[in-house]
Amino acid sequence: MTSPALDRKTTLVSIGIIGLMFFIFGFVSWVNAILIPYFKIACELSNFQSYLVAFAFYISYLLMSMPSSYILKKLGYKNGIMLGFWVMALGAFLFVPAAYGRTYVIFLVGLFTLGTGLTVLQTVANLYITLIGEKERAAQRISMMGICNKGAGILAPLIFSYVILRPQDNMLFSQLAGMDEVTRAIALDELILRVVQPYTVVGGLLFLIGVFVKFSILPELDQQEVYPAGDPAKNKKGIFQFPHLVLGALAIFLHVGTQVIAIDTIINYAGSMGLSLLEAKTLPSYTLTATICGYLCGIVLIPKVCSQQLALKICTILGLALAVFVCTWQGSVHFMNKELDISVWFIVLIGLPNALIWAGIWPLALEGLGSYAKQGAALLIMGLSGNAILPLLYGLWADAVDVRSAYWILVPCFLYLVFYAFRGHKLRTWNILLLK
């Protein structure tokens, strides 16, 4: 029997390892904010084609979440985590042949592979951090992990753009259209090869981190310890008998879609106002900084000042208001040494309420699942495929109409999130008439 001191040490180390995992999630995921406009130029893509970056990366959550839950059941958490990191490493290494051939399809395969490994890790990490302590403090713990995630997200576009972009690239980008076919191909080949070194380094680090986790003191998560009083879901026959879980997965789908749209489209949107890629590269970091501010509010306020349910209600309403403002308010604003339409800054501010929406949905959706918690977590992770679908819909709308009108897609998403925050999470039967 382990001593209390060892138990406390193991818990702290486990939270530290999970925090590292969330940092890696953020670094690998949010670098897409630079990859989208970068590939759009280097591979000569339309808006829709460029957002296939997000689609290829995040569609893996839809296709691989349930298989991941079975892999974890068979291999255990530590071996599953190691496998997840190694699959991610393989995805990073695929960027090397993709770059040498300037083959967008291979880049997309690499992104899908990265997302597949990340799916395994996300299934473990979110379930762990939700269930590892007091239920009332789950949103607080998720907020702490969110700071790790979004902190990496702030660094990733800045570091990646520093590595792959040059001060003279503004001139290069402006001259591409006037080049003959051979000269343009040579210039674009040189541009795309810049991803080889950083992704080779990332692949090597991911492989080594997998080995580290394998030999760490991270314990296996015992479902019986999480529910010592017995399985509260023993009379259920499957996860689809939990309406609040299924509706929560849809809420995750829409929430993460709004989050990725706010971060991954802002560079192209600012570009439509005349801001170059080099000038706009910091905008995703502004949105992520706003998200970190939201997480800090969650850590300070939950549960001492307000419950995580109340925080979710406030944040969904604020997100809805900001989405409407993006589409309806106009006017030039000079801020952070940039002259941009006020709608850009509303997009940045969407990061603030988005922080606590994720943190609020998870504990509500997993409540009372008992032995179905692993499958429930996998279903919620499937909701991350919203990152794949909604940016594509935004891209189609942007190509068909314009990049600003496409932000109307955010409004129905936030309307549903308001519904889930106020009523949907209470549903315990599919007969909506019994919702109270």
**pLDDT band, residue 96 (cuts 50/70/90):** very high
Q: Establish if 229 belongs to a structural domain.
A: no
Q: How far is CA 73 from CA 197, 274, 404, 432, in A?
A: 36, 51, 45, 34
Q: Establish if 232 belongs to a structural domain.
A: no
Q: Establish if 227 belongs to a structural domain.
A: no
Predicted confidence (pLDDT) at residue 334 exceeds the cutoff of 70? yes
Q: What is the Cα–Cα distance from 262 to 267, expressed in whole angstroms?
A: 10
Q: Convert the pLDDT of each residue in 130-186 to its tens digit.
A: 666 666 666 667 778 878 887 888 888 788 888 888 888 888 888 888 888 899 899
Q: Establish if 377 belongs to a structural domain.
A: yes
Q: What is the Cα–Cα distance from 311 to 23, expressed in whole angstroms?
A: 24
How many other C-beta atoms are found inside a 10 Å radius of the C-beta of residue 300?
11
- Write the single-letter amino acid at 409: I
What CATH number corresponds to the domain at position 37?
A: 1.20.1250.20
How much is the average pLDDT of 112-120? 91
Predicted confidence (pLDDT) at residue 222 exceeds the cutoff of 60? no
Q: Establish if 143 belongs to a structural domain.
A: yes
Q: Establish if 67 belongs to a structural domain.
A: yes
Q: Convert the pLDDT of each residue in 21-40 to its tens digit.
A: 889 888 888 788 888 888 98
Q: Convert the pLDDT of each residue in 169-183 to its tens digit.
A: 888 888 888 888 899
Predicted confidence (pLDDT) at residue 6 exceeds the cutoff of 60? no
Per the omega criterion (within 30 degrees of 0), is the bond before 97 cis?
no
Identify the pLDDT of residue 328. Answer: 95
User: To the nearest whole percent, how much of the chain has pLDDT over 90?
Assistant: 34
Predicted confidence (pLDDT) at residue 309 exceeds the cutoff of 50? yes
Q: Establish if 19 belongs to a structural domain.
A: yes
Q: How far is CA 345 from CA 152, 196, 307, 349, in A?
A: 21, 34, 28, 6
Torsion, Cα 428 224 149 295, to 10 degrees, reads 60
Identify the pLDDT of residue 366. Answer: 85
Identify the pLDDT of residue 5. Answer: 39
Residue span of the structural domain in which 198 resides:
4-221+238-427
Predicted confidence (pLDDT) at residue 248 exceeds the cutoff of 90? yes
Six token digits for residue 344: 């850009």
In 3-state terms the chain splits into helix, strand, coil percentages (rounded to 5) of: 80, 0, 20
Alpha helices in 196-265 (DSSP H): 196-214, 223-226, 243-264
How many domains are there within the chain? 1
Predicted confidence (pLDDT) at residue 225 exceeds the cutoff of 60? no
Q: Establish if 230 belongs to a structural domain.
A: no
CB burial of residue 223 (10 Å; 0-12, 13-18, 19+): middle
Q: What is the Cα–Cα distance from 284 to 370, expressed in whole angstroms?
A: 38
Contacts of 125 (CB under 8 A, 6+ apart): 18, 21, 22, 25, 145
